[in-house]
Structures are given as C-alpha cells and as structure tokens.
Structure 1
C-alpha cells in the first residue's frame, strides 16, 4: 500500500522476510526438477522467422555466433566423471556450462544493438489473420529454440508436474491485440515486454509470419514459457517454533497468485500463531485491471486490504487508476525519538482510503522532432483519507504523524519511455527490458489535516541513457514540501539518486559488470518522529536502529561475476561489494559524522525457471557500526530481484522521505 502524506513506512504491507535452514532444503528439493538452460541471444529475421527447429538453429549459428567454451577446470572434471556411468549421470544432473562465449570477437551488447531494430516494422499495417499461442514446457525448450528437449528425466518430470498457463487466459488477459487488428510494431514490442515482466512467465517472444497466399495478411505466433510456480519455504526451530510458507504464482493455470505464510512460536507472550495471505488476479479480462486482497494477522500488524489498480502499462495506455480500502492495526508500533537508543511502543489503528485516476495523450506539438512518437502528457488526480481510531495524543509539537487527514493531489507529467533488451543485469540469463527515456512531473495539492490546512508542491525529474560503449546511467531529482500559511515549509524533502552499470564484459571465468548506486536525502522541518535510515539489506546491509537521522548519503558499489558454474540448475554469481554511508540529524553537519562502512563477498545463486528470489551465502565486515559486537557477519539469505526505475507516470504522490 502506498503511503500518501509522509506517513510511516510501517503502515505499508509488511513483506514476507523470514528465511531459515528449511528454506535451503526446499530450494534444493525444487531445484532437483529444475535444470538451467543455455543462454542464446538471437537476432530476429523478420523475413525468415518461423517455429521450425532447423530455422531456429540456423539463426542462432549464423547471427548470434554463441558456442560453449568450457573452462579448464570444468573440462577436466567432465572428462573424469564421464568415465563411469553413475558419475556421468551425476555430472549431467549437477553441472553444465551456462554462459557461452563468442567464437568471434565482440560483446553481448552488439547483439542487443541489433535486436533493438524492431523486428515487426516490416509488417506495419498488415492485418492479423490468426493468433497462435505456443506454450512451452517449463524445462527444456526456450523461446528461441522451441524444439530443444529436456536434458534429463528430472526436467521432464518437473514440466509434467507444472500446470501451464491456460491458452484462454493468455488470449483474454495478456494480449494487447486481436485477430483483425492491423500490425502495430510498438504494440507487439510492448506486449513482449508485458509478458516477460509478469510473475507468470520466464520468457516470451512474438513472431510475425506472412500468411500463405496473401500479401496483406499475417499470422502472429505468441510463444510463452512459464516459471515453476509452486514454491514452499520456511524454517523450523523445533516443535514449538516454525515458519512455513507456500506461494503459488500461477494458481490452476489461471495466472493468479496465492501466497500463504503461517508462523508459530509457543514462547511468544503476545500471539503464538500468525498468518499472512495475499491473492492477486492480474489483468481481469480485457480491462487490464489487477485485483488484490491481503489478510494479515500477526503480533505486530492486523491488516485487511482490498485493491483494484490499472497502471499505464504502455505509452499507448490511455486510462489508469486504482481504488484501495484497508483497515490496519498495530498493537505494538515502534516510535523512535532523536536520541539514538530511545524507542517507545504505542497502539495504532486506522482506516485508509485511496482513489486516483489518470489520462494519457500525445502532446499537441513535438518536443524532440520527427520520430517523437513515444512521448505522452499525463494528467492525474488523487484523493486519500486517513482516519485513526486508536492513537497516542496528537499535538502541534508531538505525534503530528498520526493526525487525521483528507488530501487531494493533482499532477501533470511528461513521459517518454523506450526499452532495450539485454541479459545478465539483475537476472541470470532471462531477457531483461531496460527502460530509458525521461519523466518530469509537477505535483500540487491540498491537505485538510487535523492540525490545520496546508498546500503541497513538488517536482520530480528522472532520465536515463543506455549507450553500448558506456553502459547505463540513470539520474533523478525529487523535491517537495507542504506549505502552511504564515509558517513556511513543513515536511520538506530533497532527494538525488543515480545508478550506473557497465557494459557486459566477457572473460575466461564468465561475464561481469560493475554497479554503482548513489543516494542523497535531506529532510527539512520533518515531524519529530520521522527519520531516514542506513539500516537494511538494500542500504548498508546490516540492521541497526542507531543508523537514523534526517540527512543521508549512501553509496553502494558492486562487482558481479556471472560465472559459468551451474549447480543443480542454479546459476552462480560471485559478488564483491562496498557500502559507504553517512547519516545525521538536521541540526548537525553530515560530513562531520562517522563514515559507516560495510565490505564483503557473496556467492549468489538463482534459477530463472523458478519464481522464488535469488539466495546467497554472504560474508561481510562492518568495522564501525555502533553497538555492533560482531564486525564479521556471515549470512544465508534471500535476495529480491532488483527492478529498473521505469518512466511511466503513476498516481500523484507526496515525495517520499526515505
């Protein structure tokens, strides 16, 4: 749930974060039916593309020129294990080379540059005669080699146990075009991205083939490959303490997500049995609305929420919006004061209502000249109500965060977005759609709060470039504040963000990239219990309540080597990282405080055919964290897949203080 008026992040839906040794057991159990696939980056040929194996193999051989080149260690191991039948079968189960090198000189980015030439442009304006849906098995084939066979009986068994997404569901809920429509190259390209970014599909491809005997008609083949959707996980600390979770990302082949988590702790004095559940129905019919219901019954949060929403899926989406209703109770909500170790608990209960709608259209004049066909002007309006039923005393100098509000926001934005395809960025081999473009928005509004009325004014701007020889560079500026009559600004915030990653480089060990992320946040006249923090996995990498303040500077540096090693279908990446951060309060200078540091190495594993997060074995060193008695921290943990910052406009929102 999105917060609206700078309210605590704790008001949002709590993600399922617990992991344990049983998680690793289930991962290995699921992996036994999940053999990884070779990475192939084809260059589509709009004149000859078909579903035949011979054509697919010819294109891969001719255009992408990718072939296996085992390392010395891998070749030696393979030769030794192939001497006996048992070890040969074990080798086939545990290992096969994943990241292929070129026979010719060059980089993967050269293929990406060729792929970016829209393969559907040659068929613009032709009429779609038939749409054929080809659903591939989870393990074995790929969208670029549809007839490739599973490598073992484990792969065949895994595919048989999985219920593929129903063809009718794909036709009704995931296609932006119908039979009888004229071919729009941008629409087909957007539809490929839409399929790939859903939780249901591992990869997707659309192929246009001229219809036999006609120059004005074409047939469209939609090729999809599901991810393995049923994921159990959890941890057990004995008969009196356990955490069990079962996620079904494609319930009965309907593309519905059904998540359940049960936690039990007999020694907990507040609540022994806890439950979290979520049900999501994506793209209801042809409306492209998503429905979501949440039920949470834990010791720290009771939440009942219902939400329907439709984002701007593509630049051609005209209407977007959402409606959300929720009731939330916090039996023990933590309130921090400026003193680092001062924490109080209070009871909170509130109802939250949120509704917004936006309209997108082409501007009346071109901003970028000829070819500026992906730029959109978007106007939107939003109304929210936050009504507390249980809370601490609210005064003008304390607990202002818990006041009742009725807020209205308006925004006007200019969005230009395109996408380029690449691999080995945040994924481990799947096709990734990298957004680039720009987004500028002005937000204005009125907040009828309990402690008085106030105006809001904000501005946000973001831009990204993707250059073959340089890499990907993203930058963003956000600034906003409430304005109260005769009292100046209130709850002001300024944030600067930047992220960069290098082009993919190939070595004898595998493929690697460098990543650098930068974030600066400054709050002005924030309420007395509002903070930003360096604590957390995506910040400094360690949890510590003392790493709080109203000003923050954070830099994350990572080097990721996507190795050639594949263990039981899991691809292995070696990560080295350095996290550096400064944090302090408004009355103090940022650079006078200590530079908090974290350094380490991690072995990260992921199977792209499965829906759960990556997991990693990490060893980190935190030399100067206050109150930390263990500078060296080993960990076995899940790692959520990072997401690109898109340039689609969404609901008008208060610039978040984070």
Structure 2
C-alpha cells in the first residue's frame, strides 16, 4: 500500500490596520507548545489557534445588504488580514515576531487584484444580491481563504455608504509528495498566488524506476481574470498523466484553454475554448502488447459560448428577481489518430471519434446561504438554493453514425426550515437515428445533509445521505453503467461490472471537534454504502449487490492552500477480482466545494459522473 506524505510550508503574516486593535491573541485556544521558549513557542502561537463555534442556522447571503439597497457607494476600502486573522472579527489578530520572516515567504495579494475582482465601484448603488454574489466570488478564489463585505453608513449623509472589503489570504505555496517506495514517487510544487497576482504556476515531477524512462515532468500556468474581464487562460503539459484505458502513467498530455466564467447572474456572456492532445508512450509493456492493447493518440477541440437573456432589462427595471434564462451553443471535435491494433476494425466506445454540436436553453434561479462545517472546518461556505431546468438538443457524428440528441436536466435544491438541506436531480436523454431512439438514459438522485447538531461542549455532528437510481435502454454506442463513480460506490474497482441499471444508497456521519494540532483540525467519520447492479440483458432477479463499510478521519488547516487530507478505512463484505476485503486509503488535496456556476456548457447526460 502506498504511503502518501504531504509536506506543508507554514508561515503566518499579519496585516495591522489603524482601524483595529491588533494586539489580541486568543490564548484559550492554544496548546502546551505556546509555553515553550524561543521559536517553538512563537510558531505555536501562529498555527495552533482553534475556535469551535456553536451551531448556527444558514443565513441568506444578501440579508446583511438589504437595509442599504439603493444607497450610493462613496468609498471602497480593502482590508487584508494576515494568515492568523479572522474575517468575522478583524480585531482577532495574532501578532508575533515571525511577521518579518513570514512576509519574505508569503506575498500578500495585491490590492489591485482584489479590486479587479469586485462587481462594483465608487458611485454605484447598492444591489444586495450583487454584493452577496461578489462576496461569494471572492471566497471561491483559490488564493483567498475567506472574505466578507461590510457596509458602513456615512454620518450626516443618509444616502451614502462606505464598503469594507475584508479578505484573508491562504498560504498559497504548496509542496506535496506522493511516495510509494524508494523507487516510486511524485513531487508537486504549486503557487496559487504568484507574486501576489492571483495567477497560478505549478511544476511536477515523477520518478518511477520500472518505467522505460524513469523521469516524468509537468507544468501548468494560469493567468486569472485578465484585465478585470473575468477571463482566464491556462496552458500546460504532463508527460506521465494516467492513460484512460490502463491507468498507467504513460500519457503525454498538452493543452491550452481560454475561458470566461459567468461569475454573477447579470453578466451577458460566457465562453470557453480548449485544445488538447493526448498520446501514450510505451513505458511498461513489451512492444507487441503495447501496440495491440494500449496505444492511442487523440486530438480534442472543444468550444462553447452562452448569452444571458434579458440582462439589460433586469438592470433597467432594478429587479431583484434571481430568475434567469440562458442560451448556449457548443461545438466539439475528437479524433483518434491511433488506437490499439485490436480495435482497428472493432468498435469500442473509449476510442470513438466524435464531432457535433449542441444547443441548450436554460432557466434557473439561484440564491446562496452562508453556512459552516459542511465541507470545511469553520470557514464561511456558500450553499446554493434554487431551481434549474435545461433542455439540450443537437446533432452528433460518432463513428460515422449520424444521430440527433435530446436531453433534459432538472434540479431543485433548498434548505428546510429546521436547517436540513435537500438536492433533487432528474436527468433523461436519448439519441435518435432515423427517428428511432438509441442509447436512452434516465437518472434520478437525492442528496441530503442534516443540520449541525451540538454533541456536548466540544463536538458537533452533521449527517450526509445519497440515493440514486439510473437505467439505460437500447444501448448501442454509449458506455454501460459502472459502480466506481459518484452515483455508485467510488471505492470499488471498475472491473467487469457492466450494468444496464443501478441503484445506490450511501450515508456518512462526520464529527467536528474543537481540538487542533499546529492549526490542523480533525473530524472523524463513519460511513456505509450499498449498490445494486442489474447486468446487461438480465432481469432484476439476476442483480448483484455490493456494499462497503468503514470509518476514518479527515483533516485540514484552513490557512493553507492544501485541500483536505483524508484517511479512510474500508471493509467490503463482497469483492470483485483484484480487490481485498480490507483497504486503507490516505488521500491528500481533496477539494470539497459546492458547484456555484450558474450555467454549464451544453453537454451530454452522464450516468457515470
């Protein structure tokens, strides 16, 4: 079993503003190392802080701005807290002698970068929903740990207000290592806030002695929000990306991508274009086996654009309605220059050439509520509430079979009064060839998490539940249903478990607590899941059931750019070939966030997401 080692470089810097008393140190939340003399004690003051807040109901993001609706913005002031700061209480700041050293390592986000991520400027009128969207947008930036917007009335000027933009950086330099053995390891170095610009740069290298070429390399650069246009450009390469057919690290991948996100529902346009090439190199197999079973070379070009209907009328009428209509169009091209020899004249969905276009009309309404301890460990999280309906149509050429495509996607997500959260999804799609339906697919799912329960003075609990059912009919060119995905049991191997129908249920309980070690919080959890698969061409009486049980612990330091670390222990009452009944996984850099994009590119329905 591989052992994963994550190496974090941790420094804390503090920004002191004249408006606040910055001498406060929360001593009650530190631990014994604080009392140590010298640099150990000073370091502990920075990274052992821990505050467990009592459960609070989710609150609508724009509520705090409603009393100031229509008032004019006089001044905008950006307040940048240090890594030890707290946006909910800027007075709570850790001051220490390591600031000078920390400043040499961590470069604070430039004020100009924060400003070009604002949706408003001096002289604008307050729109509560737009302010809430902007606060959420700032929190979603990978180089910002948390952000709040605060409105300050101007004495003697009842129609004027000032806006405070309070932001807290993460320590954006990340170093991680995946070490399986002395002859197998990967090192990744990433900077999510290059010189305080908000841009991303990363390098990676692999050493695997059993490869024909032991060393592999990769790099990626992303220029974010070019000139305040909310347009990003990314380019990169990797010489050891896992191949999609074997999972072995022998794919050479290079790409370039240009994209403009719909960061709020009042923007008119969104678009993206991406071009990439994937080519395997023989690093493991004898030449005869490689050419017969594993070789491929593919080119992909994908472009789409969308228009937000009625944006101007919403502004002119000063409406606060969050209901929108959106029209999007997409074109795509995928061509395999080489495929394994055994599939030269035999169809396999993995190597199918594909070209075509899709059009989607989308109607949606989306608000956001502020909550804590859902996926994070105390930071502000933005949970969406609303409804989404999209209809997609188009035409495709897959392996020279021309077909029309029709798809429906409906989603309803909301909080109940007591604080429980539900997300219902229904999807259906079909292809039409000479008016005959092909590759018909249907999926229904429900995701739920409970309100946050207080368990004694130092513990809180939240429960999660998932149910889904999916089926395929008249399958011809699409892939079958598999178990190893978010609608099944992802911890299973794919194996040869191909099915025409699948029913899955999963549950998990997470226990948050007040203890921390060097700024890392820990949350133990228990889980269980069951998936029922109906084989292709068989009845439900021939179905196979698979389950998993277990527990573990997840950990994160919210001040660092690293994602969540998770130790998960599994027991499988029934296994398939290549699996053991017991398994332990240690995963690093997990990213848990709610999908907050108002719209997505037109796409085919996925049942193996």
Q: TM-score range by the shorter chain?
A: 0.7 to 0.9
Change beyond 3 A, Cα 1:523–1:396:
farther
Select 2:51's aligned residue among 89, 98, 119.
Answer: 98
Post-superposition shift, 1:613?
1.6
Would the aligned equivalents of 1:422 and 1:433 in 2 still touch at CA under 8 Å? yes
Does residue 1:360 correspond to 2:305, yes or no?
A: no
Q: Counterpart in 2 of 1:469? A: 418
* Distance change >3 Å, CA 169–CA 68, structure 1 → 2: closer
Q: Alpha carbons of 1:438 and 1:528: their partners in 2 closer, same or farther (altered >3 Å)?
A: closer
> Is the Cα contact below 8 Å between 2:567 and 2:584 reproduced in 1?
yes
Q: Could you tell me whether the CA contact under 8 Å between 1:322 and 1:356 is conserved in 2?
A: yes
Structure with the larger RCO, 1 or 2 (CA within 8 Å, 6+ apart): 1
Instruction: State the alpha-carbon separation in 2 of the partners of residues 449 and 539 from structure 1.
Output: 27
Q: What is the rounded CA distance, in whole Å, between the counterparts of 1:327 and 1:22 in structure 2? A: 31
Q: C-alpha displacement at 1:322, in angstroms?
A: 1.0
Instruction: Give the equivalent residue in structure 1 for 2:323.
Output: 375
The one-character-per-residue Cα deviations of 1:381-421 (angstroms, maximum 9, x if unpaired) are: 11111222112577896235534333011111111000000
Q: Aligned partners of 2:494 and 2:81: how far apart in 1?
A: 48
> 3-state DSSP class of the match of 1:506?
strand
Q: 1:132 aligns with which of 72, 77, 83?
A: 77
Q: 1:593 to 1:427 in 2, by over 3 A?
A: same
Which of 580, 584, 589 pairs up with 2:530?
Answer: 580
TM-aligned CA deviation for residue 234 of structure 1: 0.7
Aligned to 2:245: none
- The 2-side partners of 1:231 and 1:566 are apart by 20
Please say if residues 263 and 597 of structure 2, whose CA atoms lie closer than 8 Å, have aligned partners that are also in contact. Answer: no
- Structure 1 unaligned blocks of 5 or more: 1-17, 37-49, 58-66, 102-106, 335-342
1:22 aligned onto 2:12: no
State whether residues 293 and 340 of structure 2, in contact with CA within 8 Å, keep that contact through their aligned partners in structure 1: no
**Over the residues paired in the alignment, what is the CA RMSD in angstroms?**
3.6
Which residue matches 1:558? 508
Aligned: 1:295 with 2:278: no
- 1:166–1:648 CA distance, 2 compared to 1 (3 A): same
Which stretch shifts more, 532-541 or 158-167? Answer: 532-541
User: What's the counterpart of residue 443 of structure 1?
Assistant: 392
Contact 2:4/2:180 (8 A) holds in 1: no
Distance in 2, Cα, partners of 1:364 & 1:507: 50
* Cα displacement (A) at 1:492: 2.6
- Structure 1 stretches of 4+ with a deviation exceeding 6 A read 67-70, 81-91, 363-366, 393-397
Aligned to 1:514: 463
CA–CA separation in structure 1 for the residues paired with 2:172 and 2:599: 30
The worse-fitting range, judged by mean Cα deviation, of 530-539 and 547-556 is 530-539
Is 1:264 matched with 2:247?
no
The SS at the match of 1:252 is helix
In structure 2, relative to structure 1, the CA distance for the partners of 1:630 and 1:181 (3 Å cut) is: same
Structure 2 Cα separation of the partners of residues 475 and 117 of structure 1: 24
Partners of 1:301 and 1:555 lie apart in 2 by 35
| Match of residue 255 from structure 1 | 198
* Cα distance change on mapping 1:181 and 1:392 into 2, 3 Å: same
Quick check: 1:497 aligned with 2:445? Answer: yes
Task: Return the alpha-carbon distance in structure 1 between the equivalents of residues 215 and 35 of structure 2.
Answer: 54
SS in 1 for 2:129: helix
The answer to which of 615-624 and 435-444 deviates more is: 615-624
The verdict on how the C-alpha distance between 1:141 and 1:492 changes in structure 2, with shifts beyond 3 A counting, is: same
Given the superposition, is the C-alpha separation of residues 657 and 396 from structure 1 closer, same or farther in structure 2, using an over 3 Å criterion?
farther
Matched, 1:533 2:482: yes
Question: CA separation of 1:591/1:415 partners in 2, compared to 1, >3 Å: closer, same or farther?
Answer: farther
2:257 is matched with which residue: 296, 299, 307? Answer: 307
Deviation of 1:556 after TM superposition, in Å, equals 1.9
2-side partners of 1:498 and 1:476: how far apart? 6
Q: 1:547 to 1:624 in 2, by over 3 A?
A: farther
1:247-298 CA-to-partner distances (Å, cap 9, x unmatched) read 11111111111122100122213x3211232222222122111111121212
Q: 1:397 to 1:566 in 2, by over 3 A?
A: same
How many residues were matched structurally? 584
**Whole-angstrom CA distance in 2 between matches of 1:377 and 1:175:** 24
Contact kept in structure 1, 2:203 and 2:218, CA below 8 Å: yes
Tell me what 1:145 maps to. 89
Shift, 1:20, TM fit? 3.7
> Do the aligned residues in 2 keep the contact of 1:436 with 1:647 (CA within 8 Å)?
no
- Residues 245 and 260, structure 1, Cα contact 8 Å, conserved in 2: yes
State whether structure 2 residue 157 is matched by structure 1 residue 208: no
Q: How does 1:218-297 map to 2 (within 5 A)?
A: 218-236=161-179, 240-269=183-212, 271-297=213-239
Which residue matches 2:273?
323
Would you say the 8 A contact 1:524–1:586 is kept in 2?
Answer: no
Matching of residue 197 in structure 1 with residue 177 in structure 2: no
* Cα distance, 1:396–1:587 mapped onto 2, change above 3 Å: farther
Cα separation, 2, equivalents of 1:164 and 1:90: 19
1:113-124 equivalent positions in 2, closer than 5 A: 113=59, 116=61, 118-124=63-69
CA contact (8 A) 1:469 1:503 kept: yes
CA distance, structure 2, for counterparts of residue 263 and residue 448 of structure 1:
38
Relative to the length of structure 2, the TM-score reads 0.86
Cα shift at 1:156: 7.3
Distance 1:324 1:19, change over 3 A: farther
Partner residue, 1:338: none
Q: Which runs of 5+ in 2 are unaligned?
A: 241-248, 285-290
The farther-off stretch of 414-423 and 317-326 is 317-326
Shift of 1:642: 2.3
Counterpart Cα distance in 2 of 1:328 and 1:90: 45
SS of the equivalent of 2:531 reads: strand
Is the contact made by 2:75 and 2:161 (CA closer than 8 Å) also made in structure 1?
yes
Instruction: Return the alpha-carbon distance in structure 2 between the equivalents of residues 467 and 275 of structure 1.
Output: 49
SS in 1 for 2:294: strand
Query: Counterparts of 1:591 and 1:362 in 2: how far apart (Å)?
Result: 52
Note closer, same or farther for the CA distance 1:213–1:642 as it changes in structure 2 (3 Å cut): same
